[in-house]
Structure 1
């Protein structure tokens, strides 16, 4: 069953664009691991927050992707930029009127 993870990542002041750059870099193996969608966004009303929407073939595919070398490297690089404020929701996708 398709799995979605929609969340926010708080950054230290002035670090939002640096985090966005890390998240937008190509991640070898992500698509093959089962990632169907990975979108990164911002909202200038909350300047130290990055929004991420992910769609995966399954929750297990998402978990397995965290072991990819490219994912682990991105996480290690991003950690010093984060404020620790994170939010979001994970859910099982039941369908879409577009598919």
Structure 2
């Protein structure tokens, strides 16, 4: 079943756009690792927060992606820009009314 990881990353003041830029760099290896969707967004009401929505073929695929060189490099680059405030949830997707019809 599809695995979803939806979360938020708190950034240090003024660092949101830098974190967004890191997350939006092309990473085609994620698709090969089982990533079905990786969306990055912002909300002007939360100027120091980045939102991420990921869909993966499985929880194992998501976990394995964290070992990819590109993912590890992006995480290492972003970490000093983060405040440590993180939120979100993970869940198994049961279906969708707009796909697999």
**For the superposition of Structure 1 and Structure 2, which TM-score range results when normalised by the shorter chain?**
over 0.9
Q: Indicate conservation of the 8 Å contact 1:9/1:87, yes or no.
A: yes
**1:1-99 alignment runs, 5 A limit:** 1-99=1-99
What root-mean-square deviation, in Å, do the aligned CA atoms of Structure 1 and Structure 2 show?
Answer: 0.5
Q: Is the 8 A contact 1:28 1:70 kept in 2?
A: no
1:64-92 deviation line (CA, Å, top 9, x unaligned): 00000000000000000000000000000
Deviation at residue 56 of structure 1 after TM alignment: 0.2
Give the secondary structure class of the aligned counterpart of 1:94.
coil
Unmatched 5+ stretches in structure 1: none
Question: TM-score, normalising length from structure 2?
Answer: 0.97
- TM normalised by structure 1 equals 0.99
Q: Which runs of 4+ in 1 moved over 3 A?
A: none
- Deviation, 1:29, is 1.0
